[in-house]
């Protein structure tokens, strides 16, 4: 595969409401999206846009807060009560092709390919096979739908 856009960094937080204040008031973020629930993954999600030289289309910060008792990020927050960097997400043009390549390399993929926070198919690769970083691979949104979330 060819390295795609770093779509977002996933940042776990005990409170999206508090994190929105932090990114708005401390960091000066100007483009903070509406939070929404991603029930399938047990998280509440909120995207914060960052700029590039040409607009607000930089790598996003994906704030994630536990949703429900079985949320996959509860364990992370028990170890890191303030929150912190949880995963990274790179784009690929074709999710099935990328999955086949990772499988061929013997990387452990966590669960099935499913629909992620940007509404396109995603899968996660085990941090132990990815230099200690939980890595999300997501199919690039089609033209025009890029920043819908």
Q: Which stretch binds a second copy (CB under 8 A): 23-31, 36-44, 67-75, 113-121?
A: 23-31
d(CA 36, CA 45): 5
The dihedral over CA atoms of 71, 76, 77, 80, expressed in degrees to the nearest 10, equals 180
Tell me which of 41, 64, 73, 83 binds a second copy, using CB under 8 A.
83
> Smallest distance, Å, CB 39 to a second copy?
24
Closest Cα to residue 123, out of 85, 77, 91? Answer: 91
Q: Which stretch binds a second copy (CB under 8 A): 35-43, 64-72, 110-118, 131-139?
A: 131-139
Contact status: 114 vs a second copy (CB under 8 A):
no
What is the side-by-side order of every strand in the sheet holding 84-92?
36-38, 43-48, 60-66, 6-12, 84-92, 135-139, 121-125, 109-115
Output the six-digit token pair for 90.
């790179």
Q: How far is the CB of 82 from a second copy (least distance, A)?
A: 4
Q: Which residue has the tokens 């970083």?
A: 133
Instruction: Reply yes or no on whether 136 is catalytic.
Output: yes
| Residues labelled catalytic | 136
Report the interface residues with a second copy, using CB under 8 A.
1-6, 9, 11-13, 18-19, 22-23, 26-30, 48, 50-54, 57-59, 61, 80-85, 88, 90, 105, 107, 127-128, 130-133
């Amino acid at each position: 595969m060819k390295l795609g856009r770093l779509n977002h960094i996933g940042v776990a937080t005990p409170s999206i409401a508090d994190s929105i204040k932090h990114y708005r008031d401390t960091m000066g973020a100007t483009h903070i999206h509406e939070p929404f629930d991603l029930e399938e993954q047990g998280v509440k999600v909120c995207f914060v846009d960052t700029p590039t030289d040409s607009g607000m289309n930089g790598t996003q910060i994906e704030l994630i807060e536990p949703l429900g008792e079985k949320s996959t990020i509860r364990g992370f927050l028990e170890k890191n009560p303030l929150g912190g960097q949880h995963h990274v997400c790179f784009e690929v043009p074709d999710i099935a092709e990328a999955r086949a390549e990772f499988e061929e390399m013997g990387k452990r993929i966590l669960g099935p390919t499913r629909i992620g926070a940007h509404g396109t198919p995603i899968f996660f690769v085990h941090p132990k096979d990815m230099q200690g970083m939980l890595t999300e691979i997501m199919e690039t949104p089609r033209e025009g739908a890029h920043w819908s979330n």
